Chain A
Amino acid sequence: MGEKEKKTVKTIKIDADKCNGCRACEAICSAFHATPKYSSTNPARSRIRVVRDPLRDIFVPVFAGEYTAAECMARDRYVIDGREYDECAFCRASCPSRDLFKEPDSGLPLKCDLCEELEDPALEEPLCVTWCLSDALTYEEREEEVEEEEEPLEELEIGLESLADRYGFEKIMDTLARMSEAKKG
């Protein structure tokens, strides 16, 4: 057993019943994470996506979680209230089985950072929450006692890890070395 410590648990509570499917969350998320900030919009880069199938009344906002190199052994399929949710509708992972939560150009994984990483001073809540006037998204913070954890990986490290998974570690090292040579030259 490790040491216990206090930790603030941050949650975006998703009330799918209130979602009207407008995807404002996707628009503002992609704008916030653009460089320079807000300079471009592209829902394909968003770290929150609305799984949306209006004719089947499926409206599920999902925000990006951890990157994973491997597919699950089996895929989810839920039936709730007579509606069938397929293709991992509730899953937050950036994984090989779908194109969700990957940079459209590089294929690198995207992960929700609760709009914390870049903002100075910090925002009161993630922007997807602010822009959701339907209140399908609400932000909550609570204190919890948890086991001590390893430091979470930096975004760059997660990206590199996914590249290593795809191309092999050796190739990444070689490429980096060549790039840094080229830069010096």
Chain B
Amino acid sequence: MRYAETGFNLEIDLSRGNIERVATEPIETELHLGGLGTNAKILWDRVPPEVEPFSPDNLLIFSTGLLCGTPVPGANRTIVSTISPQTLLMAYSMMGGFWAPELKFAGYDKVIIRGKSPNLVYVWINNDKVEIRDASHLQGKGAIETGELILQEIQEPKAQVAAIGLAGENRVYFASIEQGRSSASRLGVGAVMGDKGLKAIAVRGTKDVNVARPDELLELCNEVLGYIKVRAENPIQGVPPILAGLGSPQEMAVHDEKWHTENFAWGNARHRRKDFWNEEVEKQWTETLENSRERFISCYNCPMKCGATISVPELSVYMMKCYSKLTYTMASMTDLDFGLRIAQRATEHGVDAFSAPQTMAFAVELYEAGILTDEDMPGMPSDAEERFFWLLERIIRREGIGDILADGTYWAAQRIGKGAEEYAHNNIKKHEQLPLKLGMLNPIYFLMYCTGEKANITQIEGQFPQAPFPSREEREEFVKDWFQVPDEKFKQYFVDWDLRGDNSIPYYPPIEATCEIVDWMEKMHYIDDSTGICAGLSSFPLKPPYHIHNLPRVISSATGMDIDEAELSRITKRNRTLVRAVNVRRGMRRQDEKPPEDHWRRRFPELEAQLLDEYYKFKGWNNQGIPTKESLHELDLDYVSEDFLQRGILTDDGTPSKEAPAETEKK
């Protein structure tokens, strides 16, 4: 018997209309766990670098995490992996909600989509019965609306539906896949789904998911729930309210938005408004949220309430979480009421709430600068709110200027020219980022922005505080019950970290410590991305209930494998390296690894180069960021180095390849 996983994937070829249930090899679980790890292996094996994002040979993988469907609290994430049309690299976007556990209960670990359907279709997975169904009547429907219509059609209210809106159908590079209260938004996975002619996947399952050592696992689950209660009663002192608790930031519950509105940038990630938050704004925004928020809601088997149902007059109900609450408001320089209204449309159309508002603000800025003119934007309203609605509708339909903007700021700037490139300033690897503009370079964040393969800071940061606390006493207090650290030395790194003086950024933490801190934070995310445990209970918040000391036991008791901290770290490093290998094979090199260009006002080129050099070494990569033959061998990834040698990416004598590939360009 297989434990925690089902041992079967569903392979669906949409070109041929072929559906197969394929048994998986247990060795893959031992080597990669599941979720992102096994997705990366499949992409390495089956999607060579010549395959373009919109090729029928590109795969779109919907994976459960290894622990989804077990009683492990918060293990509910769906990991969607493919090749991104925007970055041309591996995309791995994830969503919470209810879809992944339902797929497990239907008897599958992954749904692997290949080919392209000539007509729009949806897939209906009902335990052993799997059908490809016509979806022509769903063309143009909103993502949530589609979910509702499909549930009526299949007459199964307990099914879970992941769907795209019009943005996905029209291959908008930042189209999302929406599901329940969650979405896989980043890196254009919805565009690939639309390109494949796949409108939705509905799933219903009524089978068992087994675990190997039930009593041991239950005890661990109860410890986790107990600690969640402890943390609820003991918010972390000295950090903004939004960072004090567990979960993804509790945006739907919090009214005090001083931290976001004054520290994050408005417009096209340009302006900080340091005196924005006042009593009047607070009163108005509180009223807006109280009037539109119906209920706090959770994902499957999770006590956190990171989301809420939002009901705005005259618009259908939708669900929202996290920072999407503010991205449209701040990009458009308007207020929360507008933000909640346009987010309803954006959710139905299915677009990413970081990239979409940034791209619209970018267009407005180009217009104000005279780079885009009335000729490019005929009929664009002058009012800030109406403009955003106007732009959104054009983008998701790829009409006029919308067709250019639908590729995101990087590619749009390339096509517009006339200096537009300077306005596409908030990207890493061509992908729009959180709108944050700060003063002094932070070495930890520098490395995370440069090397984070998910191209999203919230999906790599988390375990180590974002900034030092003002006094040593506060820092000593913080580390007292900080048992989540992998090693005691991390406590010292934090205690010694000052706001000013010798022990402050950018030269503190020292380079070696910086490497260790970044590596720890990244490792925790890669574990979650394989197990399907939500980062909100694990890798994202400070002092989380899941950590490097209990995760090996959670995984071992659920799966029956015997994994200790060292082995879990090794598996995780293997997965992380394999993701990098997929991207290196697609041309990613050191020159692609940069933070958003004006993220910090004060930059230190020499230090930055040193940081990258040392971190690459720490990770077992050469100075181009390519995993070395030796480090690949240590991770049982010899097949990767053989491929690299054959392609001339690595050379036999270990010197860096002479070939200096251009930044990954669109063919």
Contacts and interface: CB of A to CB of B under 8 A. Distances in A.
Interface stretch (B212-220, B485-493, B640-648): B212-220
A41 B70 contact: yes
A38 B302 contact: no
Given A24-B303, A133-B225, A43 B297 contact: no
Given A41-B70, A42-B206, A54-B180, A24 B297 contact: no
Contact of B105 (A20, A36, A37, A43): A43
Contacts of B283: none
Contacts of B207: 42, 44, 104
Nearest to B228: A133
B16 interface: no
Contacts of A131: 225
Contacts of B319: 54
A28 B319 CA distance: 26
B69 A41 contact: yes
B298 A20 contact: yes
Given A20-B297, A42-B209, A133-B225, A55 B144 contact: yes
A133 B211 contact: no
Interface residues on B, range: 35 or more
Given A21-B297, A22-B299, A41-B71, A55 B317 contact: yes
B284 interface: no
Contacts of B299: 22
Interface string A118-137: 00000000000011111000
Contact of A38 (B181, B214, B295): B214
A27 interface: yes
A41 B309 CA distance: 28
In this complex, the member of B211, B229, B294, B301 whose beta carbon has the largest number of chain A beta carbons within 10 angstroms is B301
B210 interface: yes
Given A20-B296, A134-B303, A38 B215 contact: yes
Interface string A18-50: 001111100110010010111111111100000
Given A53-B157, A133-B229, A40 B208 contact: yes
A63 interface: no
A59 interface: yes
Contacts of A116: none
Given A54-B181, A55-B317, A59-B295, A24 B301 contact: yes
B300 A23 contact: yes
B303 A40 contact: no
Nearest to A104: B206
Contacts of A104: 206-207
Nearest to B104: A41
A39 B297 contact: no
B305 interface: yes
B148 interface: yes
A86 to B, nearest CB: 10
Interface in B291-341: 294-303, 305, 309, 316-319
B73 interface: yes
Contacts of A57: 294-295, 309, 317
Contacts of B305: 20, 134
A54 B309 contact: yes
Contacts, number: 95
Nearest to A105: B206
A47 B93 CA distance: 34
A38 B301 contact: no
Contacts of A43: 105
B148 A55 contact: yes
A53 B69 CA distance: 21
B71 A27 contact: yes
Interface in A49-108: 53-57, 59, 104
Task: Point out which of A22, A31, A37 has the most chain B C-beta atoms below 10 A from its C-beta.
Answer: A22
Contacts of A55: 144, 148, 309, 316-318
A12 to B, nearest CB: 18
A172 to B, nearest CB: 25
Contacts of B148: 55
A36 B302 contact: no
Interface in B60-113: 69-71, 73, 98, 105
A57 B296 CA distance: 10
Given A42-B105, A42-B206, A55-B148, A31 B218 contact: yes
Contacts of B215: 37-38
Most B CB contacts (10 A, CB to CB) among A23, A37, A53, A134 go to A23
Contact of B301 (A23, A40, A53): A23
A22 B206 contact: no
Nearest to A28: B71
B214 A20 contact: no
B509 to A, nearest CB: 36
Contact of B211 (A23, A24, A40): A40
- Please name the 3 residue pairs, one residue from A and one from B, whose CB atoms are nearest each other, closest first: A38-B214, A44-B206, A133-B303
Given A27-B71, A41-B70, 14 more contacts: A20-B303, A21-B297, A22-B302, A23-B98, A23-B300, A24-B73, A31-B214, A40-B209, A43-B105, A44-B206, A54-B295, A55-B144, A59-B295, A104-B207
